[in-house]
Copies of this chain bind each other. A is one copy, B any other.
Amino acid sequence: MTAAPTTPPLPRRLVAELTGSALLAAVVIGSGIMATSLTTDVGVQLLINAVATAFGLTVLILVFGPVGGAHFNPAVTLAIAATRGLDWRDAPAYITAQIAGCATGAVLANLMFAEPAISVSTTDRVASNTLVAEVVAAAGLVLVILALVRSQRLALVAPAVGAYIGSAYFFTASTSFANPAITIGRMLSDTFAGIAPTSAPGFIAAQLVGAALGLTLAVLLYPRRVDVIEEPRSEAGAGSDTGSASTPAAVEPGVRAAPPR
């Protein structure tokens, strides 16, 4: 009754990745500039930055996800390609679009706030503890995405990633960059959210290590590709006429065998 799903053509997906990445960088950098213009309380500044990013990122994933996947992040693209969610041959173009997008978004944020179009950040952020924090931040991000994808809960990716980043702004000492493309974009704005170019390589390396760690953990926890898990089963039990005889016991977790693919 419904036709088979088809993947949009690559150029359209790249437009989505580029535009989405640009808007993500504009949200992160722009709300940082706004925050410092409004208050001198750094707690309130980072709260503004985090709330704007959490809300904005959720919306961007909703808008661009169905077109290009809404990775906006080379570490995520690599992890998804590694789990066969993206053709490896498309990865270089995705990553190029993400970096170009984040750089464009940094310029857009600068212009919206009457800053020079490009100003190289002088904020040194590398320390042993912030690098540990970036490993944790990226591992968590990749784990969240892959856990939801591998358990067929795609509709939850957008709010969960937004909430995760909103939280990680505070529980990681690095304020959770967790994204090589946006790390590059943030080099181009000497404002609240900026990062000095000398700090970028360390951050990016830590993010890639974290992504590998998150990927490993996700595969360990969800070894099979297509599990169907408690939440949808609950809805199925209430809203469908399957009359399932296999209602699970309370919250004791369960998985079903993957449907034939």
State the A residues within 8 Å of B (CB): 1-8, 12-13, 15-16, 19, 23, 26-28, 30-31, 34-35, 38-39, 41-56, 58-59, 62-70, 80, 83-87, 108-109, 111-114, 127-129, 132-133, 136, 140, 143-145, 147-157, 160, 162-164, 166-173, 217, 220-222, 225-257, 259-261
20 interchain pairs, CB-CB under 8 A:
A1-B243, A7-B253, A12-B221, A23-B140, A47-B47, A50-B51, A52-B166, A53-B167, A55-B163, A56-B163, A56-B168, A63-B147, A63-B160, A85-B251, A86-B251, A111-B129, A112-B136, A235-B238, A239-B239, A240-B241
Q: How far is the CA of A87 from the CA of B35 in the complex (A)?
A: 42
**What separation, in Å, do the CA atoms of A80 and B154 have in the docked complex?**
27
Instruction: Supply 9 further A-B pairs (C-beta < 8 A) apart from A38-B42, A53-B167, A108-B136.
Output: A12-B221, A31-B170, A62-B153, A63-B148, A64-B147, A66-B255, A155-B231, A226-B247, A235-B235
Q: How far is the CA of A158 from the CA of B249 in the complex (A)?
A: 18
Q: Are B249 and A84 in contact (CB under 8 A)?
A: yes
Which B residues are in CB contact (< 8 Å) with A26? 136, 171
Tell me if B27 and A253 are in contact (CB < 8 A).
Answer: no
With CB as the reference atom, state the residue of chain B lying closest to A58. Answer: B163
Question: Inside 8 A of A53's CB, which chain B residues have their CB?
Answer: 167
Chain B residues with CB below 8 A from A240, complex form: 236, 239-241
* A246-B5 in contact (CB<8A): yes
Chain B residues, CB < 8 A from A256: 2-6
How many protomers of this protein does the assembly include? 4
User: Which residues of chain B are near A112, meaning CB under 8 Å?
Assistant: 129, 132-133, 136, 171-173
Cα-based distance from A59 to B233 in the complex (angstroms)? 19
Q: Which of B168, B217, B252 contacts A86 (CB 8 A)?
A: B252
Q: Name which residue of chain B comes closest to A36, CB basis.
A: B43
Known: A166-B55, A171-B27, A249-B84. A6 touches B239 (CB 8 A): no
A86 cross-chain contacts in B, Cβ below 8 A: 250-252
In the assembled complex, the Cα of A253 lies from the Cα of B252 at a distance in Å of 27
Q: Is the CB of B167 within 8 A of A65?
A: no
Knowing A133-B112, A228-B238, the reply to whether A164 touches B59 (Cβ < 8 A) is: yes
